[in-house]
Amino acid sequence: MLGSPVWRGGARYVFCGGLVLGALTTALGLLIAGSLLRLAMPAAAWRWAIIAATALLILRELGVLRFWLPQNKRLVPEHVDRHGRFFGPLQFGFEMGTSVRTYTPSALPHAAALTIALIAGPWAALCCGAGFGLGRCAMALGNLYYSNDHGWDLAWLEHERLIRAILVIAYAVSAALILR
């Protein structure tokens, strides 16, 4: 959809704005819901739960373990473009940014969601949401601006293990800073 004529001009940036807004909305929702969960156990118990869950998710991310994660295994329908050149891309981006109606090929957003819900404060939740939205934006724009039709996919396949390792390290460092 990003390669279609609809995405000429500023629509791609409206889409990216929707991605960030959707991710921020999800982060704040997780923070609010998690605040209720935090009442059930002391903070130390949640920290150990986060460490255990994160270890499992990182092992899944690196391909050591295989298990199902809850997610919607389809993309946001492209018919949202019927809402015009501004609101169509904004809605499409918002829905992708929330990750509620889309496929997420990585386990790391699940780890981040647990961290936000169970131990993060408001600023960490906002930073995580903004980072997720901007990361999705970078992927979408990178694919759009890549040199040829299938080059993005081929480059991903060639460097997938390295990229996943870098992302796991970046997540682990971020989570460790939040856990301290």
Q: Are 15 and 92 in contact (CB under 8 A)?
A: yes
- pTM comes to 0.82
- Return the number of other C-beta atoms located less than 10 Å from residue 159's C-beta: 11
Residue 78: which pLDDT band, with cuts at 50, 70 and 90?
low
Is residue 75 over pLDDT 70? no
For range 102-128, the mean pLDDT: 87
Number of domains in the chain: 1
Q: Which range scores top for mean pLDDT: 11-15, 19-23, 104-108?
A: 19-23
Is residue 5 over pLDDT 50? no
Dihedral angle of Cα 176, 47, 119, 175, to the nearest 10 degrees = 20
For range 163-175, the mean pLDDT: 87
Lowest mean pLDDT across 16-20, 100-104, 147-151, 169-173: 147-151
**Domain span at residue 61?**
5-179
Residues of the chain above pLDDT 90, percent: 24
pLDDT digits 0-9 by tens, 42-74: 878 888 888 898 889 889 988 899 888 887 766
For range 22-45, the mean pLDDT: 91
Helix count and strand count (H, E) for the chain: 6, 0
Measured CA to CA in angstroms, residue 158 lies from 7, 116, 140, 152, 153 at distances of: 28, 32, 18, 10, 9
